[in-house]
Amino acid sequence: MIFVYLLLLVPLSLILVYVNAPPLWVFAAAAAAIVPLAEWTRRATEQMAKSAGSVIGGLLNITFGNAAELILALFILHSGKAHVVKATITGSIIGNSLFGLGVAILAGS
């Protein structure tokens, strides 16, 4: 139920940008607004997994888990900073690889 109330932070963060509020307030409102949106994404992929199977559900979960990164990359590319996007993608690949290695080591030992 709290996620419904947190959805009010989505338009609030946009209003804060419009009225030139302090950047910390805008960031806090936008960061808190991501929580209910992530919950909706989780529920949607869970519902898709029920009807499409666990493999498709897992692939959708992975895809939507990186959606925020993709959206940010598009905005950064639009501002002409391709080197930042390359560094972000490289960091993401390295981080996911290390996470996978750690899980494999834990599961295998």
Q: Check pLDDT > 90 for residue 30.
A: no
Higher pLDDT, 32 or 96: 32
Q: What is the pLDDT of residue 19?
A: 93
Higher pLDDT, 39 or 66: 39
Q: In which band, very low, low, confident or very high, does the pLDDT at 97 lie, cut at 50, 70 and 90?
A: confident
Whole-prediction pTM:
0.58
Q: What is the pLDDT of residue 24?
A: 92
Query: Can you give 53-108 as a three-state secondary structure string?
Result: CHHHHHHHHHHHHCHHHHHHHHHHHHCCCHHHHHHHHHHHHHHHHHHHHHHHHHHH
